[in-house]
Structure 1
Amino acid sequence: MSSCKHKATWRMRGRFKGNRIMPIDNKKVFVIGAGPSGLAAAWRLHRAGLNVTVLEKELRPGGQLKTINESGFLMEAGTTILPQSYSSVMGLVSEVGMLHELVPANSLIAFMRDEKLHYLRADRLAWDAARTKLFSLKSKLKVGRLALDAFKLRNLMSYEDISIASNYDVETPADYARRKGLDGEIFDYLIEPTIRGGAGVPGDVISVVEFFFLWQKVLGTKLFAFENGYSSFTDRLAANLDVRYGADVNEVVESNCEVTVRWRDSEGEYTDRADGAVVSVMGNRVPSIVPQLAEERAKFLHSLNYTSCINVNMALSRPPENCPAAFITMPRPVTPDMFALIVEHNKAPGRAPAGRGLVTMYAMNEWSVNHRDALDEKIVESLLPMAEKAIPKLGSLIEFTKVNRWYPVLVYSHPGLYKDLGKFHKSRDLGSRIHLAGSYNSSGNVNTATVAGERSARELIALLEGL
């Protein structure tokens, strides 16, 4: 990427002295994007003593983390939960002094079958699955095959690089279930609902690695929520950084031992130079911003497809009766177009005013794509009958709604993608002053994005320390 190459080193010389942060010669770096990945990278670079400027196209930080506070309702328009297993996010929460703002979340999940809800605890999933009436005894005996495979793959489910599990990236969850004799009710009411809930897509199109990642890295753990919503976390991170909002970056190039960043905002166009940069945007946008990418790396990023999601926050006049769960999964036999309801007032305290309720509907990717341009009222009108299969007469309780349209959301994986991801990881240039971050580096979630940001910062710091 540049005629000025330096051998990367992992020496972390003189970064800290006591509690005082020591600068690396006050070098200047840019971070493109203020989502979880970009903010994590910027925070690590800032803590290393670098002069960091974050350029964010939107007028707020957080990317897909967005909290709306209206009329006393605390509504998550995007990501809604923080599993304890998200260790990198938890580390940042601690560093910015927000541990006391975490509240334990209700981990009760309702799996719907026919017209009945079956309750399992996320942090006791295996135990409750063995006791539930969601499956027949015959099916429960087969679940051992699933548990054994999950145990075998446990050390390969990496937030940083899921491509280490690429030897298993050869089939869809539906193919896997048929091969293992787990099709039928185990697939319909356990395997696919896990995939739908985590990725918003069916179980017959994506990689089976995605299922095992969700099973081990998201489910089966304690859950938390932020007292003042997820946005309070990214707002706190951003408040400690120099973030320029409304900044649309056109190009990041490397030459003459420096990085040139070209960007514009409402007041004009700018060309800035720095010692390094981290580009943290959706993967398929990277090649247009970083034109010097190697051909194969650019080809991989161009090939990434992303899912869409429409979700609807519904403020309710009172909580629905007989609904103790925080999460309700909607299997394909119940409805192919909706994958979950989150009962926010059950999830954590403070989501709704006293005596009121808050429920969010989540539509599948394909439905969201087909209804992206529909009027808000038509979206609510279409989704509500699906939700009322789980919560009867829900519509009669609605005070107001918020319709949220998200694209892009997560990489739409397919068997073989993670093999290609492995090649992409191995081909990265540690001697370059431009590093990439984003949730496309593993199965997409907030922690994956955070880990990717931290790694890009770590590798850029190592390079700059070695100069």
Structure 2
Amino acid sequence: MRVVVVGAGLSGLAAAHRLRRAGTEVLVLERDELPGGRARSERHGDYLVDTGPDALTGSYSSYLALVDELGLADRVAPSSPVVGLVRDGRLIDIDPRRPWRALTRRALGPAAAGRLLTGWLRLRKAARDVDSYELVNRADLDDPDVSAHDLALRTFGTEVAEYLVDPVMRLTTGSGARTASALNLLGALRAWTAPVVNVRGGLDRLPAALAAEVPVTYGATVTGVDESDDGVRVRYLDAGGEAHTVDADGCVIGAMYHTAVEIWPSLKGYSPEFADRLADVKLVSVSLGYRARTRSAAYIVQVPTAELADVLLIFLQHNKAPDRAPDGHSLITLYTDTTVTDRYLGRTDEQIVDWAAGTVEALCPELAGRRDLAVVTRWPKAGYLATPGFWRRAAGLLDALPADGRVRLAGDLFGAGSMESAVRWGERAATALLDLDRQPRRPTCS
């Protein structure tokens, strides 16, 4: 069997890896000059900056299995378990090993802490049945009229909904709880109770290792995918603009929906309502280096919308993995909330850095005047917003796609927009094509 994979992001590379290990001839076509898609890392002096996805947990079972399979397990390192919370303009450390200190530091009031416990007990069974990285499989729980904020308000009360649930939704969806599906809250309750880990050397290590195993043609812009009963034809332009055609037994499209539907127009016909209501997640990330260490021991800093509406979340990268910043230095990454990102996309890098530095140094005054690095990365399309009803529409698209189709969607469209879901759906696309190839071929007449 011969398969063309469109896209050398994590999902496309995971699919190519599985296909190649099964003995399939694989060609990967990638528009950019590097593998990894949004999973990129950059070296700036002694700083190592992950410019796209950032956090992962022990619940990333497929991702970490692939890391192990490629001999990178020794690069997995635990991140700080301490979680930061912005409240009343302060950065408060919450250590899950000493949860009672959250009360003494006024992260939550006693009544809110009690409602958090009782609410968690109420939702625990429902959360246990939800896989955060395959939320489409529980689309029946995605009420189009109920947001994560609505569910949190009923279950936990106002304080927990605003100061714990809202920032968790910002971490996992790209905006606050009012724009997120209630199903995302159930998924987060399960996924983010696992220990937080990361990869030494940068989050581009896994895609780089995968790309070293499979043939990747860089600078290739795919212009069309045509499907027949027994194969596919893929058309693309190489880096020099020369046109090529490849005939294959199958194709995996590891790209976002808006790209997939351009090169494979048949996709639009399977579920038009899915595309009609898509909302883009848009992000700007700013990474700032400082010649001083933060007092906070947190890695993930949760930022409630009520505190800083424009700031989606903050990562203290020097507490993530030991190689992200030199000894005695801090590396801090701040993301914009998708609902305000258009305003920041129109600003200069200098204006964005000034805003980010002002925010960071107000929370960590020990860093003021010590900055020695600034990196701005813009993501006009970083994913899709999982608004209430999104998972029902995604399930409708998934059900409408032909079971015996030779074009398979990968990417993280049917997952939670994470590196784990990207790997899972890439591997699932590969498995579907392998299963299809094992079926008896339809007889032909001459």
Verify same fold: TM over 0.5.
yes
Q: Is 1:174 the counterpart of 2:149 in the alignment?
A: yes
Q: Is 1:97 the counterpart of 2:85 in the alignment?
A: no
**Gap regions ≥5 residues in structure 2:** 442-446
User: In the alignment, is the contact (CA less than 8 A) between 2:281 and 2:381 conserved in 1?
Assistant: yes
Cα distance, 1:129 vs structure 2: 6.4
The one of 394, 416, 419 equivalent to 2:392 is: 419
Cα distance, 1:288 vs structure 2: 1.5
Cα distance, 1:293 vs structure 2: 3.0
Give the structure 2 partner of residue 8 of structure 1: none
Distance (Å, rounded) in 2 between the aligned partners of 1:256 and 1:234:
32
Counterparts of 1:111-190 in structure 2, within 5 Å, are 111-121=85-95, 133-143=106-116, 144-170=118-144, 171-180=146-155, 182-190=156-164
| Residues 302, 337 of structure 1: alpha-carbon distance in 2 compared, 3 angstrom cutoff | same
Give the structure 2 partner of residue 254 of structure 1: 227
User: In the alignment, is the contact (CA less than 8 A) between 1:65 and 1:79 conserved in 2?
Assistant: yes
Distance (Å, rounded) in 1 between the aligned partners of 2:284 and 2:367:
19
The one of 395, 400, 413 equivalent to 1:440 is: 413
Distance (Å, rounded) in 1 between the aligned partners of 2:133 and 2:306:
31
Offset from partner CA, 1:16-51 (integer Å, 9 cap, x none)? xxxxxxxxxxx2110001111111111111111000
Counterparts of 1:192-211 in structure 2, within 5 Å, are 192-211=166-185
**Gap regions ≥5 residues in structure 1:** 1-26
Give the structure 1 partner of residue 248 of structure 2: 274
Distance (Å, rounded) in 1 between the aligned partners of 2:58 and 2:210:
19
Distance (Å, rounded) in 1 between the aligned partners of 2:173 and 2:101:
23
User: In the alignment, is the contact (CA less than 8 A) between 2:126 and 2:186 conserved in 1?
Assistant: no
The one of 185, 194, 197 equivalent to 1:221 is: 194
| Residues 234, 53 of structure 1: alpha-carbon distance in 2 compared, 3 angstrom cutoff | same
3-state SS of 1:150 partner: helix
TM-score (norm 1): 0.88
| Residues 458, 301 of structure 1: alpha-carbon distance in 2 compared, 3 angstrom cutoff | farther
* Larger displacement relative to structure 2 (247-256 or 131-140): 131-140
| Residues 125, 172 of structure 1: alpha-carbon distance in 2 compared, 3 angstrom cutoff | farther
The one of 357, 382, 387 equivalent to 2:355 is: 382
Give the structure 1 partner of residue 346 of structure 2: 373
Give the structure 1 partner of residue 208 of structure 2: 235
Give the structure 1 partner of residue 379 of structure 2: 406
Distance (Å, rounded) in 2 between the aligned partners of 1:33 and 1:242:
12
Identity rate of aligned residues, in percent? 28
Give the structure 2 partner of residue 337 of structure 1: 310
The one of 263, 272, 277 equivalent to 1:289 is: 263
1:101 maps to a residue whose letter is: R
Distance (Å, rounded) in 1 between the aligned partners of 2:190 and 2:81:
15
Cα distance, 1:428 vs structure 2: 2.1
Cα distance, 1:407 vs structure 2: 2.6
Cα distance, 1:255 vs structure 2: 2.3
1:48 maps to a residue whose letter is: A
Q: Is 1:59 the counterpart of 2:33 in the alignment?
A: yes
Give the structure 2 partner of residue 79 of structure 1: 53
| Residues 125, 65 of structure 1: alpha-carbon distance in 2 compared, 3 angstrom cutoff | farther
User: In the alignment, is the contact (CA less than 8 A) between 2:134 and 2:416 conserved in 1?
Assistant: no
Give the structure 2 partner of residue 29 of structure 1: 3
Distance (Å, rounded) in 1 between the aligned partners of 2:148 and 2:98:
19
Distance (Å, rounded) in 2 between the aligned partners of 1:330 and 1:396:
23
TM-score (norm 2): 0.92
Distance (Å, rounded) in 2 between the aligned partners of 1:155 and 1:125:
28
1:266 maps to a residue whose letter is: A
User: In the alignment, is the contact (CA less than 8 A) between 1:287 and 1:302 conserved in 2?
Assistant: no
Give the structure 1 partner of residue 80 of structure 2: 106
User: In the alignment, is the contact (CA less than 8 A) between 2:254 and 2:409 conserved in 1?
Assistant: yes
Cα distance, 1:249 vs structure 2: 0.6
User: In the alignment, is the contact (CA less than 8 A) between 2:180 and 2:387 conserved in 1?
Assistant: yes
3-state SS of 2:184 partner: helix
Cα distance, 1:303 vs structure 2: 3.7
User: In the alignment, is the contact (CA less than 8 A) between 2:131 and 2:187 conserved in 1?
Assistant: yes
Distance (Å, rounded) in 2 between the aligned partners of 1:121 and 1:220:
13
Give the structure 2 partner of residue 44 of structure 1: 18
Distance (Å, rounded) in 2 between the aligned partners of 1:48 and 1:301:
34
- Residues paired across the two proteins, number: 437
Q: Is 1:244 the counterpart of 2:217 in the alignment?
A: yes
Give the structure 2 partner of residue 363 of structure 1: 336
Distance (Å, rounded) in 2 between the aligned partners of 1:64 and 1:416:
26
Distance (Å, rounded) in 2 between the aligned partners of 1:376 and 1:434:
40
Cα distance, 1:357 vs structure 2: 2.1
Distance (Å, rounded) in 2 between the aligned partners of 1:403 and 1:299:
35
